[in-house]
Structure formats: C-alpha cells, structure tokens
Amino acid sequence: MSIRFAWGMGIVAVMGGTLLPSAQAQDRSQARSMVVSRKGIVAAESPLAAQAGVRILEQGGNAVDAAIATNAMMGVVAPMMNGIGGDLFAIVYDAKAGKLYGLNASGWAPKGLTPELLKKKGLREMPNTGVNTITVPGAVDGWQKLADRFGRKKLGDDLAAAIQTARDGYPMTEWVSMYWNISADFLRGDEEATKIYLPQDHPPRVGEIFRNPDLAWSLQQIAAHGHDAYYKGEISRRILETIKRHGGAMTAEDMADFSSEWVEPISTKYRDWTVYELPPNGQGIAALEMLNILETFPLGQDKEYGYGSTKTLHAMIEAKKLAYADLLRYIGDPHGQKLPVAELLSKEHAAERAKLIDPDHANCEAGGEPRGGKETTYLTVVDRDGNMVSLIQSNFDYFGSGIVATGTGFALQNRGALFSLDPGSPNLLAGHKRPLHTIIPAFAQKGDTRVAFGIMGWWNQSQAHAQFIANMVDFKMNIQAALEAARFTKRTFGGCDVEMENRFSKKVRDELEAKGHQIKVLGTFSASVGGGQAVLRDFAAGVNYGASDPRKDGAAIPELPLD
C-alpha cells in the first residue's frame, strides 16, 4: 500500500510497506511509534497482560491462545474492569480460511428475574448495582469456545501465568490504583469484596503487592476442568449460594444451561474499507450507521472537512446522535423479536438520516438515556501466521454488582442494569434474555490489509470506533496516530452536551458552540473518551503492526524472533 505523509498534523501515515526516513520525523504530534514485527504482537491495557499473551505466542500458541492468556491476566491485575464474573465478545480472523468469526459470550438474565418480580420488590426501574443486576457471566464459556475451536494450547497453559500472578501477587500500578481507590466505599458494601479487595482496610497503593489466592483457586479449577468447573462445579455452587443469600433469582439451571454463541459479524463499506462489528445485542451497529452517515460528507476530501475542523466535528457529533437514537429505539437481544438490522445498515437509511443534519445548528432535542457502565478492557492480538483476535471483556461498572461469591476471588458483573422495564422497549427485561450491551470489538479490511481494533468506555465505544476509522481512512493516519488523535465523546443520547479533549483548537470549539453545541473541555489525553488498542497485518509483506493508546497504561508488545 502507499505511504503518505501529513506533515500539517505532525503525523506519519503508514498502512503497510516501509517508512521513508526524514529529519522531520522527530517533529510530530504522535507520542508513540507503532510496534512493527514479522512475528506476533499483543496490545493490551497492561504490559504485564500483554507479556502473558506474548509468552504464549513464543511457546507455540496462536492468537486465540494469546488473547485468552492476556484476558485472564487482565482480570488479575485490573479486577475492577474485567474478570471471570463478566461478559466477553470477540472477533477472530482465521488467516488460513480467510474468514471472520464472531463470538457473543454475553450472559442472560436468570429465568425468574422478571419485571413483575422487581415490581413486587418495589422497584420501578432497573437497579444500578446489587444482586438483581447479576446476569450469568459469559467470559469463561467464551474462553472455552475460543480454545476448542481455534486454540493450539490447552486452556490450562493459557491460564498459567494468570494463576501464578494471582497467587504470588504483583505490585500495584498508578492507573489501576486510582480506579481501585474510587471504588473503596462501594466495596465496603459486601463483606467478601471487602476481604478480597481492601486488604488492611484500604485499596492497594501504588507499589504495594496485591495477592488474590481465591482467584488463583478459581482459575486453577477452570484450567483443570474447563467450562464445567465454572457453570456446573464448585465455582457455580459458591456463586449460587451467595446470590441466594442476597435474595437473588439465579438458579443452577440458569448457569448450567447457558451457552455463548457463534455469530456472523455485520459490516458496512466505508469508502474503500470494509468495517465489521458484531450484531445485536451489542451497540456495534451504531458505529456502522454512524460511518454510513459520515460517508455522505467529504471528510478528508474538502479542505473545510479536514481532521479536527468545525465542519467535520459537527457532522460527526450529529451523526452520533442519529445513530444512537436508532440504537436505543430498535436494538436489544435478537432472540424472540425481529430487529431491523438490514434497514439500519442500509445506505438509503443513512442518506435519509444525513438529511436531518442542519449544517448551521446542533440538534438539541432530548432523547432517552440508558445508563452507562464505567469500565471495560479491550485487547487485540495478531500472530506470525496472520491470525487475529479482537476481544473485549467487562464487569460493566467498577467491580460490577459489588458482590463477590465466597471463596472465588472475583466480582460478579452488574450487566443486567442495562435492561429496561419499559414494556415497549426491545430491551425489556425477561428471563434468559441478554441486555443491550455496550462492549464491542471491531475489525476492518482493505485489500491485503486487516486491522483488529477496539476502544473501550460505555456508550463511548461506537462513536470512538467511527472516529478511529475516519482518522485512518479519511485522514490517512497510521493505527497509532489514529488511536492517539484527539477525540470527542457524547455520554448522553439527547441534548447538545459534548465533551472534547483540549487538543481541538479553541477556534473550532468556539465555532461549534456558535452552532449550539455545549462543550465541556477535557484534558489532553482523557480517560473519558476511552482507551484503545489496535493491530494491523499487511499480508502482502507479511508484516504486523501494533498500537496502544496513551490514555491507558498498556503497551503493544512484540513476540521475540527466537526461531
């Protein structure tokens, strides 16, 4: 592919091939360089987690093995964000078959958890935390299905580093310590959570060693006995006993009958790239609709529609509102109801929606507001053969429901908080139904180039995905620059509020405010706009590229060329 330079933005753009030398390369806004290797690369939010995945690659595992190892380690070192009490989604690219596979490992509500039951308990809307927000965790079943279909290593091998680290302990990092401290009062609401996560009655401080032998035990059970250890064995018994003690509705059948699903990714053509997301119950369809709307604007083709310009940002923000309005109105679990997926993905629908964008005024109409979770982890892997994994996993809120089953060492998610009790909603709570989900992995391809990417952060994700693709496709940034570039986020679905990193110029912000946008200025690299990871494979050259967002503590780490 061609090499292009965008010196006006201080960005060197590479989609494959060799970077041309230049003295100007020292003067750039891009803070990090891409990792470039003929071997595998793991990009994750923790260098320790990425290293766990790289070790598996060096021991003969493939991208799926490395993704499982990385995810397991993330659950050890950042337990507020993710872990085996949460859900998982993944997109796998099988290089030999040249085919994408999607996995939906999101859990369902207990069969007995219904709107009627909650109303009898005096609830008129879904609670945010607690036992009635716990859905069956899907992550472990997701690991098992990924390992069975694509893995080269035993599941026990993939989990070994995480087990050892949980048992022996690790020193607390700055970023994770900050999140942990935010959750201290919440954790004190559960005796077991206090015991596990507040040793010596305080969150682990930077540099303190944190050990979790109970989590090591749970992971060891899964390593030895796989899926059944979690959903039918002693772990399940401990989960159900704890939920019963808290007055929850989950039963042994809810756990034992659960199975994640292989699904066909959905896609759209954006310019000359094809972008993939997973189908509902996730929010990925909003990213694709947003891109379809943006395709009607000359981003990167007209000087007034350059990166970070007033016209570009206005179009993006307004496209976000329209796509998310459709998401909230039409999307939920597709089982048992017909969702208008094809219509929402059509170019005709996007063209009609684009006509609603007033070039001079922001649309400030109020909209419905589902709640958003606070944390997630995203990771991605490419191996030496070109197999790729885009994987995202989450507890939803910090430490999920706040409930830890006795002796297990992990928090149970509160994903059920996203259900609606509105009888007219496609996301209405029902037994063995999955809620509308925030977490989404993504993938893109053009010719011989494949990109696995994701940007975490509640309802931020679809709008962040669309911005990443526009950065890469319209503004010719390489994957590291596309992650680092300033982003906006709109937390709400209605209204004119929008948040922007301060790297967007004051002139542009003032011009947007003149159109009616109500802007909150964020820091230079704000966690509010999410953190991402990406890997790229140039199949023509046999070269891999990795990128990691400076908004997180993570890294893209290459496999050592040992053979």
- The pLDDT tens digits of the residues spanning 117-130 come to 999 999 989 999 99
Residue 24: which pLDDT band, with cuts at 50, 70 and 90? low
Catalytic residues: 376
Q: Is the predicted pLDDT of residue 77 greater than 80, yes or no? A: yes
What was the pLDDT predicted at 561? Answer: 79
What was the pLDDT predicted at 409? Answer: 98
Helical spans, DSSP H, in 295-360: 310-330, 341-345, 347-354
Q: Is the predicted pLDDT of residue 6 greater than 50, yes or no? A: no
pLDDT tens string 219-257:
999 999 999 999 999 999 999 999 999 999 999 999 999
Nearest CA to 107 among 134, 74, 125?
134
Residue 371: which pLDDT band, with cuts at 50, 70 and 90? low
- CB-CB contact of 121 with 405 (8 Å): no
Structure token digits, residue 100: 């994408």
Nearest CA to 142 among 150, 130, 132?
150
Q: Is the predicted pLDDT of residue 9 greater than 50, yes or no? A: no
What separation, in Å, do the N-terminal and C-terminal C-alpha atoms of the chain show? 28
Structure token digits, residue 474: 């319209």
Q: Is the predicted pLDDT of residue 260 greater than 60, yes or no? A: yes
What was the pLDDT predicted at 529? Answer: 93
pLDDT tens string 381-393:
999 999 999 999 9
Q: How far, CA to CA in Å, does 319 sit from each of 238, 274, 357, 534?
A: 46, 19, 8, 24
- CB-CB contact of 369 with 497 (8 Å): no
What was the pLDDT predicted at 177? Answer: 92
Helical spans, DSSP H, in 8-135: 47-58, 63-77, 115-120
Q: Is the predicted pLDDT of residue 506 greater than 80, yes or no? A: yes
- CB-CB contact of 442 with 276 (8 Å): yes
- CB-CB contact of 117 with 127 (8 Å): no
Q: How far, CA to CA in Å, does 165 sit from each of 32, 211, 268, 426?
A: 28, 8, 41, 42
The CA-based dihedral angle spanning residues 285, 286, 288, 291, taken in that order and rounded to the nearest 10 degrees: 170
Q: How far, CA to CA in Å, does 40 sit from each of 55, 74, 132, 306, 388?
A: 10, 19, 42, 34, 9
Instruction: Provide mean pLDDT across the span 263-274.
Output: 98
28 vs 6: CA distance, rounded Å: 10
What was the pLDDT predicted at 4? Answer: 33
Nearest CA to 442 among 534, 345, 544?
534
What was the pLDDT predicted at 372? Answer: 58
pLDDT tens string 311-350:
999 999 999 999 999 998 998 999 989 999 999 999 999 9
Can you give the pTM of this predicted structure? 0.93
Q: Is the predicted pLDDT of residue 32 greater than 70, yes or no? A: yes
Q: Is the predicted pLDDT of residue 5 greater than 80, yes or no? A: no
Q: Is the predicted pLDDT of residue 293 greater than 90, yes or no? A: yes
Share of the chain above pLDDT 90, in %: 87
